[in-house]
Structure 1
């Protein structure tokens, strides 16, 4: 991964210092997580070469797996989520990159109420965590940051009840606090009154920095000023048909996740053994 800006301390020295901190931390070493130079460098870059903050974020990454949500991660396997990659998709990385910032664009929606029984908030959280694990090794994501897009299309009362304070806290702890990515923008589209009400309920529980980057689009045209309609799935206001939605997605993360199934399952087994 390349160095984005010049630092007072050379990148190589910061990396060595972070490795020393990690190697002296028994909790991290015993976690079974693959701690390599590329992994550590992602946290350094994402935390703007602040050694203390990078180390603290790695500790959070380990803590949510070994303690806070060990039951969740001890059951994690990409193979249990294969259906999440089928169409119609509920989340995914777009092929499109923001031309100004170079940010990768990640879109997601809540599955319609009719799918409540087989796609849960926990499933979505798992899929996000697996995707973020792979983004750690993607230069563009670490250096440039991410743009998130959430669509309210298909959002119903059953989904609204899913967004409890406890679940929001879990989602933030796992997918925001424990990773080094900078969320540059968070766009909300297809905003029905029910979706807007849920956003208002959730907003106080979000980190202040993330709250300040939320943009609510009252018209689809204003969203198209950010992400062109020809590169957006139909359920987020794209101009293509639902049958052609597959053309707008980048499948790199899914392939990488499935390629590392053995690693994820070994890690889950190790966490499960630690619970007994």
Structure 2
């Protein structure tokens, strides 16, 4: 397996003690209700993959009502922004790995959070970062992850060591806004932290730009680390690769494995489903009870 998905004793204990935790039998009941609800939404694809739906509900903090809202946004956003759900040219992707890469670290934190690392590489002056491709890969990896495991919590680690200001100035604001919306508002992901390491001199400008686009709650979870020592307070060394003073292994091997895994799943990635907006008559009824919802409190990340 490309990532370790089994929770150890400490991770399982942390997860099961969460206020909103539900045991498997109750999650299974919610999956059945979610399948029935989806079947009544004419604009949504008829999803019946119970494992995927279970992962979706867990990512929504076990809240069925929130899962309905998010799954509607998930498929509608993909129809509204098809540029992020694309046909992948793996030769072009391989070429662009000279500029930067994205991967998930194999091991989770003690809280069962997964770390996604986005890092820049040294580049020639005349090269430009293909930010659209980066956003496409970012969402593709999140989709692949949700196929493999439930998202108990996500940490995003940005290594900016080789990001020159010229590339930052080329970052398209509208495209960035749309990608952030797809990730934070239409994905079953609880963002536990956004961490920047090796910050450039213009980090203040970058943070101002990014925070303008983030949900208010997430803004308080953005951290800039001038040294790796402060990063270890959030991500233990045994989760981090050698490059960042950790013991988990070689980051380039992680990146190569994710490239190969994505390439092996090209067919699935290129056929990800989205809503049929022509059939979206009105706002779906997310309901309150039973098949249309639960008593559980709606909690927004």
- Please give the TM-score of this superposition, normalised by the length of structure 2: 0.72
- Structure 1's unaligned 5+ residue stretches are 272-276
The alignment partner of 1:257 has SS state of helix
Query: How much does 1:123 deviate?
Result: 0.7
| Structure 1 runs (4+) greater than 6 angstroms displaced | none
Counterparts of 2:104 and 2:98 in 1: how far apart (Å)?
14
Residue 169 (1) aligns with residue 177 (2): yes
Counterparts of 1:84 and 1:166 in 2: how far apart (Å)?
25
Aligned counterpart in structure 2 of residue 152 of structure 1, from 144, 147, 160:
160
| Other-structure match for 2:27 | 11
- Structure 2's unaligned 5+ residue stretches are 6-11, 277-301
Q: 1:20 to 1:245 in 2, by over 3 A?
A: closer
Query: How much does 1:85 deviate?
Result: 8.4
RMSD after superposition: 3.5
The alignment partner of 2:118 has SS state of strand
Residue 137 (1) aligns with residue 154 (2): no
- Please give the TM-score of this superposition, normalised by the length of structure 1: 0.78
Q: What does the per-residue CA deviation read over 1:166-223, in whole Å, with 9 as the maximum and x for residues that have no partner? A: 1221121222222112111221111122133211222121111221111221223212
| Other-structure match for 1:29 | 45
Q: Looking at both structures, which has the greater relative contact order when contacts are Cα pairs under 8 Å and sequence separation is at least 6?
A: 2
Residue 45 (1) aligns with residue 58 (2): yes
Aligned counterpart in structure 1 of residue 265 of structure 2, from 260, 269, 273:
260
Greater helix percent: which structure? 1
Query: How much does 1:136 deviate?
Result: 0.7
The alignment partner of 1:150 has SS state of strand
Q: How many residues align?
A: 257
Counterparts of 1:24 and 1:183 in 2: how far apart (Å)?
30
| Cα pair 2:195 2:225 within 8 Å, conserved | yes
The alignment partner of 1:193 has SS state of coil
Q: 1:120 to 1:72 in 2, by over 3 A?
A: same
The alignment partner of 1:90 has SS state of strand
Query: How much does 1:259 deviate?
Result: 2.8
Counterparts of 2:56 and 2:239 in 1: how far apart (Å)?
34
| Other-structure match for 1:246 | 252
| Other-structure match for 1:70 | 82
